[in-house]
A and B are shown apart, each in its own frame.
Chain A
Amino acid sequence: MSVEIDLTLPLARFALRVRETLPAGVTAVLGPSGAGKTSLLESVAGLRRAANGRIAVDGQPLLDTARGVALPPEKRRVGYVPQDSGLFPHLSVLGNVRFGAHADERAVGAAIDTLEIRPLLARRPATLSGGERQRVALARALATRPRLLLLDEPLAALDVRLRERVLPWLLRVRDEWALPCLYVTHNVGEALAAAAHAIMLREGRVESTGEPRAILGGLASEAEEGIENLLPGQVVSHDEASGITRVSTASGLDVAVTLTPENPVGSAVTLAVRAEDVLVAVAPVVGLSARNVYAGRVLSIERTGVDVTLRCALEPGGVEVLARITPAAVVALGLQPGGPVWLAVKSHSISLLGAAVRG
């Protein structure tokens, strides 16, 4: 299963120019807003007539302008899930899922079961929550037995809590349906959790391509959006009585997160912590409810916008963690590069991003 893309599409400010062969599995499409990510998906789906070049799935061309091939969208068999789900408001959930399925009841049933939307079938899209809508949109795409999935920021319209609830469904689709997938996202954590491969678009060009972690290294420290701290690790234990799942990070930290029994002991996960959720102290912390307290050193103090970003190295393993605090806090605490620091993170502020990156 591979997807070949050799595409040119004139856009308002620049031309989209992508030439990539994507491996099987999920490819994250990253990049700033307006980089051409959605245009790329729409070209693959056949919704951009000006698209020029060649796009092939498993050697079968969807587009090959040199040979006069340009399959209309209805012949391409790609499943497209946009950011706002794009459910048909005049149809029930079942009507939506069945829409493209051509009476293939087995595919409809399988899609409904994968996304566990059977209780929703009679409802109208307007009555669904954001997370439910995205699950229905995914099921609708899957029910057509697509050869390729195109996900355009499928979680972006959801708040942080909902994202964490919907992401596992996406991972389940990835694992159970084994489809090649182009996954547009702004969110570093999502890309790391879902994708084995990533391309970074900027102004319509592929800036870099490869393993998501390698590509995102720079972006994560830019701390523009999404989650700044990402720590790969392994589930050590689940303790239902205390409501805690213990994770040991690759760098040797012992981290307590809220109970997530769906990740079996021993499974690889990615811990995600926002820089603003990291508490900073200049003395050993006692009597605090936060479960995770680590000693370290300040590496650098940088002004980022109205805030200050603190780069710290934690003692075990020297792993780097970013914390965002106010300039006033820097003064009040007398923080200086090289000085000692204690960082605390509540279990609730740590997201567990499901099964980790696959090679």
Chain B
Amino acid sequence: MGPDELRIVLFTLEMAATATLVVLVPGVAAAFFLAGYRGLGKTALETLLTLPLVLPPTAVGLLLLEILGRNRPPGGWLAAHGVEVVFTWKAVVVATAVMSFPLLVRSARTAFEEVDPRLVGLARTLGCGPAAAFFRVSLPLAWRGVVAGTVLAFSRALGEFGATIMVAGNIPGRTQTLALAIFHDTQMGRDARAATLAAVTVALAFATLWVTEWLFRRRARGEAA
């Protein structure tokens, strides 16, 4: 593996980490909101948030291209303020973030739903405002689901292909992530390089999931003691 390949790996990690950071706060907030929301349109809202999971990523990518392209208000407005998104690294972040978001929300929402609402009520009677009750009771009790969701989101971001290639293109050195590079190399007949990069993705995904498992086990033992 040469410096070129290493750069692709680092770029991919950087993009996935950025996308995960971007979705973390809104994802946890959305999960918490949905877990407690009983009002109108709950199902519609949940369906909408899950949609990117089941749509072809290329369709999501196309939609993002429409939104972020210069011809439409959001993209046009951004361009007018000097922010180019499409076919830059920012597009990679946006595409992977959108695709990872539902995974984080689903996992964290289940965890928040399992927190006994009476414990939150008790925290309130003990002097916590809603925000303090969230940080001192809901989040610590749901942390496994939140961490699991974050890891899933990160892993998904590492391997995202369809949406990324639509909005960010496949520009070596600028927007080319591991997934895109593997596809590109195979197309160009560089099978050995493709295989190397594929092996790297396997190693990365394995390491991420393994570290999470290990973390859970260690905490589980600590809590039982």
Q: State the A residues within 8 Å of B (CB).
A: 42, 45-47, 72-74, 76-80, 82, 86, 88-90, 99-100, 102, 124, 126, 140-141, 144
**B140 neighbours in A (Cβ, 8 Å):** 90
With known contacts A89-B141, A90-B141, A124-B223, A100–B126 Cβ distance under 8 A: yes
**A76 neighbours in B (Cβ, 8 Å):** 125
One of B66-74, B81-89, B114-122 at the interface: B114-122
Q: Which 10 A-B pairs have the closest CB atoms?
A: A100-B126, A73-B124, A100-B127, A80-B125, A90-B140, A47-B121, A86-B122, A73-B125, A74-B127, A45-B125
**B121 neighbours in A (Cβ, 8 Å):** 42, 45, 47, 73, 80
Q: Does residue B136 face the partner (Cβ distance < 8 Å to A)?
A: yes
Asked if residues B124 and A47 are in contact (CB atoms below 8 Å), the reply is: yes
Residue-by-residue, is B126-139 near A (CB-CB < 8 Å gives 1, otherwise 0)? 11110010001100
> Which range contains the number of B residues in contact with the other chain?
10 to 19
Helix, strand, loop or mixed for chain B's interface?
Answer: helix
**B132 neighbours in A (Cβ, 8 Å):** 74
CA A2 – CA B105 in complex, angstroms?
48
Asked if residues A86 and B141 are in contact (CB atoms below 8 Å), the reply is: no
**A88 neighbours in B (Cβ, 8 Å):** 119, 123, 137, 141
**B224 neighbours in A (Cβ, 8 Å):** 126
**B124 neighbours in A (Cβ, 8 Å):** 46-47, 72-74
A202 to chain B, nearest CB (A): 25
Best-surrounded residue of B122, B123, B124, B137 (most CB of chain A within 10 A): B122
CA A72 – CA B125 in complex, angstroms?
9
CA A80 – CA B121 in complex, angstroms?
10
**A100 neighbours in B (Cβ, 8 Å):** 123, 125-128
Best-surrounded residue of A82, A89, A100 (most CB of chain B within 10 A): A100
Residue-by-residue, is B145-157 near A (CB-CB < 8 Å gives 1, otherwise 0)? 0000000000000
B166 to chain A, nearest CB (A): 43
**A82 neighbours in B (Cβ, 8 Å):** 118, 122
- Between A and B, 29 residue pairs with Cβ closer than 8 Å are A42-B121, A45-B121, A46-B124, A46-B125, A47-B121, A47-B124, A72-B129, A73-B121, A74-B124, A74-B126, A74-B129, A74-B132, A77-B127, A79-B125, A80-B121, A86-B116, A86-B118, A86-B119, A88-B123, A88-B141, A89-B141, A90-B140, A90-B141, A100-B123, A100-B125, A100-B127, A126-B223, A141-B126, A144-B127
B99 to chain A, nearest CB (A): 32
CA A312 – CA B120 in complex, angstroms?
50
CA A126 – CA B220 in complex, angstroms?
13
Give the residues from 204 to 225 in chain B that come closer than 8 angstroms, CB to CB, to chain A.
223-224
CA A89 – CA B220 in complex, angstroms?
13
CA A144 – CA B140 in complex, angstroms?
22
CA A74 – CA B141 in complex, angstroms?
20
CA A159 – CA B152 in complex, angstroms?
45
Asked if residues A47 and B141 are in contact (CB atoms below 8 Å), the reply is: no
Further pairs besides A47-B121, A79-B125, A86-B119: 8, Cβ < 8 Å: A45-B125, A46-B124, A73-B124, A88-B123, A88-B137, A89-B141, A99-B123, A100-B127
B144 to chain A, nearest CB (A): 11
CA A46 – CA B140 in complex, angstroms?
24
CA A318 – CA B125 in complex, angstroms?
49
A165 to chain B, nearest CB (A): 24
Asked if residues A80 and B127 are in contact (CB atoms below 8 Å), the reply is: no
Asked if residues A99 and B136 are in contact (CB atoms below 8 Å), the reply is: yes
**A141 neighbours in B (Cβ, 8 Å):** 126
**B127 neighbours in A (Cβ, 8 Å):** 74, 77, 100, 102, 144
A234 to chain B, nearest CB (A): 39
CA A305 – CA B136 in complex, angstroms?
49
Closest to A75 in B: B127
CA A140 – CA B125 in complex, angstroms?
11
A300 to chain B, nearest CB (A): 45
Closest to B120 in A: A47
B145 to chain A, nearest CB (A): 14
Closest to A137 in B: B122
